[in-house]
């Protein structure tokens, strides 16, 4: 059996789709399972245990008819038996119809007239479970499994060496991950609040350091934190596997709404997530997770005191 999934969105959306792919793999262990994702989001599949190949296509780009035609040709040539799409648009529905893939599954709504199975979207549950509902089109009605990753051994070894370099291998460490290039400024946790958390932690827990995650998404934030706290330890994993391994080794992860949050949930590191919205859709309920929701819709209005109380609690 040959399956292709069209998964638009960022790395976080890809990770939330992992349980769906893993269930397909469990039911069809010999299946070829490919994914169509953007060139930036395909990096997520480094830590997937079920995907065979990732085809790069930027759904949100200003694609020409030739671009769409090339996608149709690519999918048609591979002779897939099943297509699953998260995209709700006439264009994607038409593309799938033109490929001749016999079983086409997606959500009921815009563009679903081209699909063979249309699944109503449940917007009142964890998003990974909503995606997993699409498998009803294959007659699979099992519950959505937990997020799970397959971190390559070289990435685990890198993280172990990184912990030694930082001097945290024996002491343990708290990882903080914030971003400054969020889609909405309401989702950006202010640098002043991060600094207060770091300062208070250093006074209360001298034996367990804080390590900040540096990436292209937070260069300005980490630069300011280092200027104000020169002794702050910083790690800069250059792929998602190394980042996942560093998160897995942490005693605690404090983060905003970004894909590292989903990685932390997947590796079951104790996580405190700072959100500007209700976490019902983006996060599961488990013993490793504590969510702090902003009372105003702006994550910056969550005080550092509230975060620290949650940590100590």
* Cβ–Cβ < 8 Å for 85, 104: yes
Which neighbouring-strand residues pair with 34?
Answer: 4, 53
Query: Which of 96, 93, 90 has the alpha carbon at shortest distance from 4?
Result: 96
Domain layout of the chain by residue ranges:
2-138, 153-312
Q: Answer whether 0.75 is exceeded by the pTM.
A: yes
For every one of its 313 residues, what pLDDT tens digit does the chain have, with 9 covering 90 and above? 999 999 999 999 999 999 999 999 999 999 999 999 999 999 999 999 899 999 999 988 788 999 999 999 999 999 999 999 998 888 899 999 999 999 999 999 888 999 999 999 999 999 999 999 999 999 999 999 999 999 999 999 999 999 999 999 999 999 999 987 666 778 899 999 999 999 999 888 888 999 999 998 899 999 999 999 999 999 999 999 999 999 999 999 999 998 999 999 999 999 999 999 888 899 998 889 999 999 999 999 999 999 999 988 7
CA 69 from centroid of its chain's CA atoms: 29
**pLDDT score for 83:** 98
Beta strands 210-213 and 174-177, pairing class: parallel
CA distance 155 to 157: 5
CA distance 311 to 290: 9
Q: Can you read off the two tokens belonging to residue 180?
A: 């400054």
**pLDDT score for 277:** 86
Question: Has domain 2-138 been given CATH number 3.40.50.300?
Answer: no
Q: Where are the strands (E) in 42-180, listed by range? A: 53-56, 82-85, 103-107, 117-119, 174-177
233: helix, strand or coil: strand
The CATH architecture one would assign to domain 153-312 is 3-Layer(aba) Sandwich (3.40)
Whether 153-312 and 2-138 are alike in CATH topology: the answer is: yes
Read out DSSP for 134-170? GGGGGT--PPPPPP-----HHHHHHHHHHHHHHT-TT
């Amino acid at each position: 059996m040959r399956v292709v999934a069209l998964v638009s969105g960022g790395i976080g959306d890809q990770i939330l789709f992992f349980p769906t792919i893993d269930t397909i793999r469990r039911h069809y262990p010999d299946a070829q399972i490919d994914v169509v994702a953007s060139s930036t989001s395909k990096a997520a599949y480094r830590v997937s245990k079920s995907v065979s190949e990732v085809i790069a296509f930027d759904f949100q780009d200003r694609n020409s008819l030739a671009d769409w035609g090339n996608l149709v040709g690519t999918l048609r040539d591979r002779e897939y038996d099943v297509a699953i799409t998260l995209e709700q648009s006439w264009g994607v529905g038409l593309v799938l119809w033109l490929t001749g893939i016999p079983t086409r599954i997606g959500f009921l709504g815009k563009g679903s007239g081209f699909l063979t199975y249309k699944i109503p979207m449940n917007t009142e549950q964890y998003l990974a479970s909503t995606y997993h509902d699409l498998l009803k089109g294959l007659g699979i009605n099992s519950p959505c499994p937990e997020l799970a990753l397959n971190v390559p051994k070289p990435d685990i070894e890198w993280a172990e060496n990184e912990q030694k370099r930082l001097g945290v291998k024996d002491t343990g460490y708290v990882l903080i991950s914030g971003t400054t290039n969020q889609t909405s400024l309401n989702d950006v946790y202010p640098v002043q609040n991060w600094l207060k958390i770091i300062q208070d932690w250093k006074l209360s827990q001298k034996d367990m350091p804080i390590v900040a995650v540096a990436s292209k998404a937070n260069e300005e934030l980490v630069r300011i934190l280092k200027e104000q706290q020169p002794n702050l330890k910083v790690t800069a994993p250059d792929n998602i596997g190394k980042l996942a391994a560093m998160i897995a080794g942490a005693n605690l992860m404090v983060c905003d709404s970004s894909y590292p949050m989903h990685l932390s949930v997947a590796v079951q590191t104790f996580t405190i997530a700072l959100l500007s919205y209700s976490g019902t859709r983006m996060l599961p309920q488990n013993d490793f997770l504590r969510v702090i929701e902003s009372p105003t819709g702006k994550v910056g209005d969550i005080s550092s005191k509230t975060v620290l109380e949650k940590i100590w609690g």
